[in-house]
């Protein structure tokens, strides 16, 4: 049953709201624009304009929700990075203490301790860089980096007990 729209020309505000509500109902029913035009009796160009507006509003809303979700995920990754950095600093302090103790005793410093110190320092720098980039992404609302692995490869060896 098509509604009759005897009045031609621009609609006043109340009529515009009514038109919009009827077109939203058609949109929610998943009707095509031509079907909505037939159902409501409105010009197909009017229906297309409203459908475009509704689609853009929904897209903007979904984008905002996605950005907020990505920012929450980035904040969680930043917290994880900070915990890893803290553990790495503790491990680094232990390695430096071992090196100092051996040096005081006049014993040679094993290459693996020097290598571990170098690797830990590189991991800390890498995590700080990733943390900085995550912070930058939150500020710019560009969450594209979020799904990279958050820990450098080979890191687990320093947390074995």
Whether 96 contacts 71, CB under 8 Å: no
Predicted pLDDT at 8: 61
Q: What sign does the dihedral 68-70-76-79 (CA atoms) show?
A: negative
> Can you tell me the distance from the alpha carbon of 122 to that of 126, in angstroms, rounded to the nearest whole number?
6
Residue 139 is predicted with a pLDDT of 59
Instruction: List, in sequence order, the alpha helices (H) in the chain.
Output: 13-28, 33-40, 44-104, 111-140
Place of tokens 């297309």: 48
Residue 9: what pLDDT?
65
pLDDT at 61: 80
Instruction: Please name the residues in contact with 87: beta carbons below 8 A apart, sequence gap of 6 or more.
Output: 158, 159
CA distance 130 to 27: 43
Cα Rg of the chain (Å, integer): 31
Q: How far apart are the first and last CA of the chain?
A: 75
Residues 3 and 47: their CA atoms lie apart, in Å, by: 14
pTM: 0.52
Q: How far apart are CA 57 and CA 113, in angstroms?
A: 58
Please state, in angstroms and rounded to a whole number, the distance separating the CA atoms of residues 20 and 13: 10
Alpha-carbon gap, residue 135 to 75, rounded angstroms: 8
Q: For each of the chain's 161 residues, which pLDDT tens digit applies?
A: 445 455 566 778 888 888 889 999 998 898 889 999 999 999 999 999 998 888 888 887 877 787 788 888 888 888 898 999 999 999 999 999 999 999 999 999 999 999 999 999 999 999 999 888 888 766 554 444 444 444 444 545 544 54
């Amino acid at each position: 049953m098509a509604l009759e729209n005897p009045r031609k020309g621009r609609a006043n505000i109340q009529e515009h709201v009514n038109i919009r509500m009827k077109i939203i109902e058609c949109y929610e029913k998943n009707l095509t624009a031509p079907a909505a035009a037939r159902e409501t009796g409105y010009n197909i160009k009017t229906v297309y304009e409203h459908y475009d507006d509704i689609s853009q509003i929904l897209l903007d809303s979904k984008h905002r929700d996605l950005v907020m979700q990505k920012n929450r995920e980035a904040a969680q990754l930043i917290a994880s990075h900070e915990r890893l950095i803290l553990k790495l600093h503790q491990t680094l302090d232990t390695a430096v203490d071992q090196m100092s103790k051996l040096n005081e005793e006049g014993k040679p410093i094993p290459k693996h301790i020097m290598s571990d110190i170098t690797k830990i320092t590189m991991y800390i720098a890498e995590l700080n860089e990733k943390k900085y980039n995550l912070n930058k992404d939150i500020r710019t609302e560009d969450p594209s980096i979020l799904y990279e692995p958050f820990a450098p490869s080979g890191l687990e060896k320093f947390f074995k007990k």
